[in-house]
């Protein structure tokens, strides 16, 4: 999903937004020949995500910049850890710094939060998945961060699966005399065998008519714990059961214990806090030509000059 082309497209747009006519501060203050070495430092613990994105931000500014990572995507790190070393032309490093940090901080924040949810449902059958509540233009990056945190992805876009929600069902039922089962069967008949069909319900009485249409996944939206347990028992393996709504770090463990197969969590991407990471310049090579310690010896004397008139 997160291809090199997508990364370069996203990062190029971000760089153009940040410095549309160049970085006038660095161009005025920093000598063109200046080189630096900087470290990407963790100011809090977390789970890393965004190696390819960070590298692209530096490379697209100046291909001479070299980034060496000391942590892999999906790897936990402690506060104070050095996550990467960046070296190369100072102007390029400074120009790419903010974009590189913005993206990797957000991705690592998502991965870190996802890992917390995943840990809370360990030992159950439930998998933690994201939603389409992503930042416009950054979906592929944010979805990768969820995977780096140990979570899974829901459908990537409206083009990838059929997901009938309450408003869809209202329109469908009106077109079929209120018969939701008939409406969904008509939808099913038009689908390829490879296309997934999911239906959202918000009341227990909707479960049986929806299941009768032969769907793949049923989403129980905003069901309380007792209703979730009853719903799982009623479905009895005839479809995957997804729980949605009211999911947070305080409730996810109990939701997973009801026996649902999937728990979708919009908060993974729509309200996550970026992780506190920083890029700190630690070494600036001296580009000034070295001055000899002692004056060079006088050159050997040549023939004496002829001073005769």
- Percentages of the chain per state (helix, strand, coil), in multiples of 5: 40, 20, 40
Residue 60, pLDDT score: 98
What's the rounded Cα separation, in Å, for the pair 64 and 69? 16
- Answer for the pair 60, 119: CB distance below 8 angstroms, yes or no: no
Question: Rounded to the nearest 5°, which phi and psi values hold at 89?
Answer: -55, 130
Question: Beta partners for 274?
Answer: none
**Tokens at 166, concatenated:** 């309450």
User: Which pLDDT tens digit goes with each residue over 171-205?
Assistant: 877 777 778 898 899 889 999 999 999 999 999 99
Closest CA to 151 of 127, 135, 177, 167: 127
CB 164 within 8 A of CB 173: no
Which pLDDT does position 196 carry in this prediction?
A: 95
pLDDT tens readout for residues 262-303:
999 999 999 999 999 999 998 777 655 444 444 444 444 444
Burial class (CB in 10 A: 0-12, 13-18, 19+), 124: middle
Q: Quote the pLDDT of residue 308.
A: 44
User: Is 235 strand, coil or helix?
Assistant: helix
- The per-residue pLDDT for 306 is 47
Residues annotated catalytic, as ranges: 98, 133, 165, 200, 221
- Those residues with Cβ within 8 angstroms of residue 83's Cβ, 6 or more apart along the chain or in another chain: 39, 40, 41, 42, 48, 69, 70, 71, 77, 277
Report DSSP letters for 80-102, one per residue: T-EEEEEEEEHHHHHHHHHHHHH
Q: Point out the residues of the chain with pLDDT beneath 70.
A: 286-309
Q: Is 277 helix (H, G, I), strand (E, B) or coil?
A: strand
Residue at token pair 């990062």: 11
Is residue 253 within 8 A of residue 272, CB to CB? The reply is no
Radius of gyration over alpha carbons of the chain, in Å?
29
């Amino acid at each position: 999903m997160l291809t090199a082309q997508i990364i370069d497209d996203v990062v190029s747009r971000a760089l153009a937004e940040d410095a549309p006519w160049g970085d006038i501060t660095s161009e005025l203050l920093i000598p063109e020949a200046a080189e630096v070495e900087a470290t990407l430092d963790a100011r809090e613990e977390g789970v890393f995500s965004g190696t390819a994105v960070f590298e692209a931000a530096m490379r697209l500014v100046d291909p001479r910049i070299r980034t060496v990572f000391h942590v892999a995507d999906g790897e936990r790190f402690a506060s104070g850890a050095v996550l990467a070393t960046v070296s190369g032309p100072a102007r390029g490093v400074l120009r790419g710094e903010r974009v590189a940090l913005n993206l990797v901080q957000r991705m690592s924040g998502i991965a870190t939060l996802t890992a917390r949810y995943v840990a809370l449902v360990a030992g159950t059958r439930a998998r933690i998945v994201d939603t389409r509540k992503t930042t416009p233009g950054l979906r592929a990056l944010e979805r990768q961060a969820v995977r780096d945190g140990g979570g899974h992805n829901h459908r990537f876009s409206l083009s990838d699966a059929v997901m009938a929600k309450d408003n869809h069902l209202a329109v469908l039922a009106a077109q079929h005399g209120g018969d939701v089962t008939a409406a969904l069967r008509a939808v099913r008949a038009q689908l390829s065998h490879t296309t997934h069909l999911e239906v959202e319900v918000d009341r227990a009485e909707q479960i049986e008519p929806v299941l009768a249409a032969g769907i793949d996944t049923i989403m129980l939206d905003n069901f309380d714990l007792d209703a979730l347990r009853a719903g799982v028992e009623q479905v009895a393996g005839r479809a995957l059961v997804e729980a949605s709504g009211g999911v947070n770090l305080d409730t996810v463990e109990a939701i997973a214990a009801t026996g649902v197969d999937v728990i979708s969590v919009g908060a993974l991407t729509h309200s996550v806090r970026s992780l506190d990471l920083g890029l700190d310049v630690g070494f600036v090579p001296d580009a000034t030509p070295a001055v000899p310690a002692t004056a060079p010896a006088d050159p050997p004397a040549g023939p004496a000059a002829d001073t005769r008139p």
